[in-house]
Amino acid sequence: MRRFTALLLAVLTLLSLTACGGQDASVPEEDTEDPGGEPVEVLPPEPEPYDILDPTVMPEGGVRDGVTYVAYDGIVEHLFFHPVIAYPELAFDGDAQANGLDDYMVTVDEYNKILQSVYDKGYVLVDIGDVWSETTGEDGQPKMVKNTLYLPEGKKPLILSYDDTNYYDYMLQNGFAYKLIIGEDGKIASWGKDPQGNEVVSRDLDAIPILDKFVEEHPDFSPFGAKGCLSLTGYQGILGYRTQTDTKSWTEAQEANRQKEIEAVKPIIAELKRTGWTFGSHTWGHIRLGTKSMESIQADTQRWFDEVGSLVGPTTILFYPHGERPDGNDWQNTGPVFRYLQSQGFRVFASVGIESFSYIKKDICAVICDRLHPDGTTLRHSRDRYLQFYDAKDIMDVAVRPQREIDWA
Ligand SMILES: [Zn+2]
């Protein structure tokens, strides 16, 4: 009887798989026979194909899918976010973190409205790695050049980056997702807990699956398949998985858990890459590159390669923690720390600023750039500067944020 029930369950599982999703959820035949009465392993559905195209190449005849492409050599705008706040009532509960979260983060509602607005204003996503290339100069030395992009006529390019997508411990109590997972539909989702403590798997509560969904619904927002660049530290692991080491006492049990987390995050990384996400370094320890000693910066960089780069693969992008530039925070300076970081393979050095400034260095193969930062500070105080993307008046969730000053109110 038990065996029959197991078989029946297996058949029901198969039936329900075939019935929903509209995809071919075929399960290999050996799994369906269920010789030992073991539970049937349910395989995730085959992923839908996802095309990633090169925006530096003009489509043949200048037309793709009926859309005319034209050369673009203007400014490439760059916006960056932190993880978004899923539950404002946990973030803005008056605790010690509330004002910091108000300053540096946006809520899910605000983020949805920002994506809709930049889409409506004609921006299309490009990957930061496609905007500049390394080439050889007339003097035989390597140098960076800005690429001509071939965009759908009338569109403007936009880079998105996402800092600290590590889902730090402090975020877990403050209304953020806990980690990225692969949902039953095979797509990236977030896992977390609602204010009542119930587990929630969703594609609507974190910046990454929200953008995935937005691009599914508006494919012309990402004509090349680009999403965003995830800027990762390493000191509390990555993407919600605690893959980091500790230099102090480190037990075998801790190492075994770390290895488990490493195995668990690998398919997440693979799926993110497959669907247009890329990765950059935000240093291992979120360190201040303007003031730390060379020795500690070198140790930190090595640790990032060992614990993060080993998982996400090589990158040429470095996002400065706190926006602080190396060697005394002077963008015109090419000091010893900058030279060291460049020698480690970094070519694009991104800070934070009041416009999408970029500058190709003349004395070293590198480009520096600034990013704009949609967050509480700019929603409250920089409405004008962001009008080309959105109107803070339409975006800001005044009712859920702390009662603090707003310039435009
Ligand atoms: Zn950061």
pLDDT (tens digit, 9 = 90+) per residue, 112-122?
A: 999 999 999 99
Tell me if the pTM is above 0.95: no
Of 35-39, 229-233, 250-254, minimum mean pLDDT range? 35-39
Residue 4's pLDDT is 40
H helix runs in 92-147, sequence order: 98-104, 108-120
Bridge partners (DSSP) of residue 280 are 231
How many A from CA of 260 to the centre of ligand 1?
26
* pLDDT band, residue 383 (cuts 50/70/90): very high
CA 369, CA 63: separation in Å to the nearest integer? 31
- Do residues 289 and 352 make contact, with C-beta atoms less than 8 angstroms apart? no
Give the up-direction half-sphere exposure of residue 348: CA atoms within 13 A in the CB hemisphere: 28
* pLDDT band, residue 318 (cuts 50/70/90): very high
Contacts of 342 (CB under 8 A, 6+ apart): 364, 365, 366
How many A from CA of 164 to the centre of ligand 1?
5
CA 210, CA 311: separation in Å to the nearest integer? 24
How many A from CA of 409 to the centre of ligand 1?
29
How many A from CA of 65 to the centre of ligand 1?
39
Token pair of 72, please? 């673009």
Strands across the sheet with 149-152, in order? 63-64, 67-72, 149-152
Domain covering 60-395, topology:
TIM Barrel (3.20.20)
Comma-separated ranges of CATH 3.20.20.370 domains in the chain: 60-395
pLDDT at 11 over 90: no
pLDDT at 18 over 90: no
Helix (H/G/I), strand (E/B), else coil: 107: strand
* pLDDT band, residue 250 (cuts 50/70/90): confident
**Averaged pLDDT for residues 313-317:** 98
Q: How far is CA 311 from the centre of its chain?
A: 15
Residue 36's pLDDT is 52
CA 287, CA 363: separation in Å to the nearest integer? 25
* pLDDT band, residue 338 (cuts 50/70/90): very high
**Averaged pLDDT for residues 140-154:** 97
- Do residues 397 and 105 make contact, with C-beta atoms less than 8 angstroms apart? no
**Averaged pLDDT for residues 157-168:** 98
Of 124-128, 160-164, 405-409, minimum mean pLDDT range? 405-409
pLDDT at 223 over 80: yes
- Do residues 242 and 261 make contact, with C-beta atoms less than 8 angstroms apart? yes
How many A from CA of 319 to the centre of ligand 1?
8
**Averaged pLDDT for residues 230-256:** 93
Residue 45's pLDDT is 75
How many A from CA of 213 to the centre of ligand 1?
25
CA 378, CA 269: separation in Å to the nearest integer? 31
CA 408, CA 129: separation in Å to the nearest integer? 36
Angle at 321 between CA 293 and CA 89, to 5 degrees: 140
Dihedral sign for Cα atoms in the order 325, 326, 327, 332: negative
Contacts of 130 (CB under 8 A, 6+ apart): 54, 55, 56, 147, 149, 224, 226
Bridge partners (DSSP) of residue 64 are 67
Report the first-to-last Cα separation within the chain, whole angstroms: 70
| Nearest CA among 337, 338, 369 for reference residue 352 | 369
pLDDT at 22 over 90: no
38: burial class by Cβ within 10 Å (0-12, 13-18, 19+)?
exposed
pLDDT at 19 over 80: no
> Which residue type is seen at 245?
T
How many A from CA of 286 to the centre of ligand 1?
6
CA 318, CA 368: separation in Å to the nearest integer? 10
Dihedral sign for Cα atoms in the order 312, 315, 321, 326: positive
Q: Which residues are placed with Cβ below 5 angstroms of ligand 1, an ion? A: 163-164
How many A from CA of 235 to the centre of ligand 1?
12
